[in-house]
Amino acid sequence: MSVTLLLILSLFFSNSLYGKQEEYKKLRRQMVHEQIMRRGITDPRILNAFIQVKRHLFVRTELQPRAYRDSMLDIGEGQIVSQPYIVAIMTYLVGPKSDKKVLEIGTGSGYSAAILAELVETVYTIEYIPSLGLEARKRLDGMGYKNIKFRIGDGYEGWEKYAPYDGIIVTCSEDHIPPALIKQLAVGGRMIIPVSHSSEVQELILLEKLSESELKKTSLIPVQFVPIIRGSAKK
């Protein structure tokens, strides 16, 4: 193959890749405007985080063309990445600030952790399924995130070593709020968790810890999350 042909092919693929990245960037901006801003979330820091984080890199290759739609997507092992608006409202409600630390239960593909890492000082994220947790860590390390700490384990028990947390986001449902997570939430902190009332009915709950003995619970919107997995981490 001639040098000229190699240069032509290289230029072609470079232009093709650039065009694809520009298309995804346009889709991210459209996603933010139509799915997040129009539903009332207007915090510039949060909107910018959703523009910066490339959601298509957190799903399987064949699903990348659907990455910016208003829908959840399968990430394998029976788990999903929530639709952008759900990730956005949970992020917004936890009150992310640059000097805060947040615990995430359910790393999944790492998308929510990446969004949080754009907004807070440190993200602590726990995944029960090793294959997902290790893949998410490899992905996020490769993207250059230095403020995320990873753990494979039982998210129901939280991560006591680094408690208390200014915010806790739980991305899997339970029929009650785990006591360990309440204990690990700092006074003045917020927890966002989907609570299931039946196999078909779940609602997103905002828990605010007003003092060590006083909690405020607010029911928000109906949601649908996979259930939390408890016990020793899956091998």
Hey, what are 138's tokens?
């490899």
pLDDT tens for the chain, 235 residues long, are 555 554 544 544 555 555 688 999 999 999 999 999 999 999 999 999 999 999 999 999 999 999 999 999 999 999 999 999 999 999 999 999 999 999 999 999 999 999 999 999 999 999 999 999 999 999 999 999 999 999 999 999 999 999 999 999 999 999 999 999 999 999 999 999 999 988 788 999 999 999 999 999 999 999 999 999 887 644 4
| Residue 98 backbone phi and psi in degrees, to 5 | -65, -20
196-230 burial, b at 16+ Cβ within 10 Å, e below that, comes to beeeeebebbbbbbeeeeeeeeeeeeebebbebbe
pLDDT at 83: 96
Q: Which option is the CATH number for 70-222: 3.30.1490.100, 3.40.50.150, 2.60.40.650, 3.30.70.3270?
A: 3.40.50.150
Please, what is the angle between helix 44-52 and helix 3-31, to 10°? 150
Could you state, in order of their start, the residue ranges of all structural domains in the chain?
Answer: 70-222
Closest CA to 189 of 105, 88, 100: 100
pLDDT at 4: 59
pLDDT at 200: 84
pLDDT at 135: 97
Contacts of 147 (CB under 8 A, 6+ apart): 117, 120, 121, 122, 123
Q: Catalytic residue at 14?
A: no
| Candidates 2, 10, 71, 82; catalytic one | 82
pLDDT at 235: 42
